[in-house]
Amino acid sequence: NVNGNEFGRSTIILNINYALIIADITDNSEEYSSANDAASNTNLQRELNRLRALVQSAELQRFWVVLLNVLPFFVIIFLKAVFDGFFSLLSLSAAFLLFHIANSTFMASRREKRYFHLLQSFTSSIFFFNFQSLFYGLDSIYIPMAFMSRLTNPITFFATLHVVLVVDFAVKIITVTVKAGLTVLPTKFIGNRRLRRLFQWIEYTSQFYRYVLPVPQWTRYLSYSLFSTPLTYFSDHFFAVLYVIYKACLIQVIGRRWFESTRRIFRLTSVGSKVSVGEEDSVQCTICFNDFCNPIKVCLSSLLV
């Protein structure tokens, strides 16, 4: 009994000590939380005071006065430019929307739905050309596509940009329509691999054509000047020559891909089939004819592609 009483008293003492420790920890945590809250409130109050002082500063007040005096003028000019170029913006929006619909539907569909591809692509083309003919006439598309310019004086930057973008979308829509027309051909006349090779050649041809297409438009804009002085005559022709040199330097990349695709249009060699030794040692891909940037060597004894 004596041992049991001593054990009970020791247990009570341990429980009391444990409770005191817990209470001490709780008090310390509350004091720590109170200190953190006080520090956070102090920092927040300091930041608010600094922002209030910044808002009430004389420099910021002068900036707001200047902004409120100038901003309405720029808003008026912007709205005037939007209303003046409303039909141009509308035609560009329609061209982008029709091309996006035709291209996304064609890319997402399968060959079993080839008649739907063709119908949808022709519908987009008809809507696009009718819309352009309604506001600007079909010559606004056909003449620039023949590497000629129909811009009238004064030649402005936005007028040139509008012609370049509209003609670019027109060629893209025609490219999608041609691809959709090829899918209608029966499989026994043109297989899937040859069809992919034709798609590649059509896409590279379209890219090459669209790369050269805006050269006459921008050349005429860069060589045009409102004033006929020796200085403006020299500067305008100088900028036009620089633009032509710039396009000529970059055309070799697109031209090389188009040339390689044209040279191998009737060959069905691709990754996964038997390739020649020369093609294995080549630094170009046998599908897109682009240079390898970061080749990876696969260390396997056999690989099924």
The tens digit of pLDDT for each residue in 230-258 reads 666 677 778 888 888 988 888 888 888 88
pLDDT in tens, 224-234: 776 666 666 67
Q: Residue 20 above 60 pLDDT?
A: no
303: confidence class by pLDDT, cuts 50, 70, 90: very low
Q: Could you count the other beta carbons within 10 Å of the beta carbon of residue 261?
A: 21
Contacts of 291 (CB under 8 A, 6+ apart): 283, 284, 285
The candidate with the shortest Cα–Cα distance to 222, out of 142, 127, 157, is 157
**Which H or E run includes 173?**
helix 157-183
* Close Cβ partners of 155 (under 8 Å, ≥ 6 residues apart): 220, 221, 224
Looking at the predicted structure, is the pLDDT value of residue 104 above 70?
A: yes
Q: What is the CA radius of gyration of the chain?
A: 36
Task: Identify the DSSP state of 85.
Answer: T
Q: What is the pLDDT of residue 102?
A: 75
Closest CA to 289 of 239, 253, 246, 244: 253
Buried (b) or exposed (e) across 173-198, using 16+ Cβ within 10 A? bbbbbebbebbeeeeeeeeeeebebb
CA–CA distance, 115 with 122 (Å, rounded to integer): 11
Full-model pTM:
0.62
Q: Considering the chain, what percentage of its residues have pLDDT values greater than 70? A: 60
Phi and psi angles of residue 47, each rounded to the nearest 5 degrees, phi first: -65, -40
- Give residue 240's pLDDT: 84
- Taking the CB of residue 146, how many other CB atoms lie within 10 A of it? 10
Question: Between the CA of residue 218 and those of 23, 136, 236, what are the distances in Å?
Answer: 82, 20, 11
Residue of higher predicted confidence among 207 and 273: 207
**Which of 34-43, 54-63, 86-95, 287-296 has the highest average model confidence (pLDDT)?**
86-95
φ/ψ of 106, rounded to 5, equals -70, -40
End-to-end CA distance of the chain: 86
Answer yes or no: is pLDDT of 3 > 50.
no
Residue 141's φ and ψ, nearest 5 degrees, are -105, -45
Using DSSP's 3-state secondary structure scheme, residue 291 falls into strand
**Predicted local confidence at residue 255, as pLDDT:** 85
Report the phi/psi class of residue 137: left, alpha or beta, with left for phi > 0 and alpha for psi in -120 to 50: left
Of 45-49, 54-58, 96-100, 292-296, minimum mean pLDDT range:
292-296
Q: Which of 59, 120, 80, 124 is nearest to 98 (CA)?
A: 124
pLDDT confidence of residue 141: 80
CA distances from 112 to 183, 187, 190, 233 (A): 9, 11, 14, 59
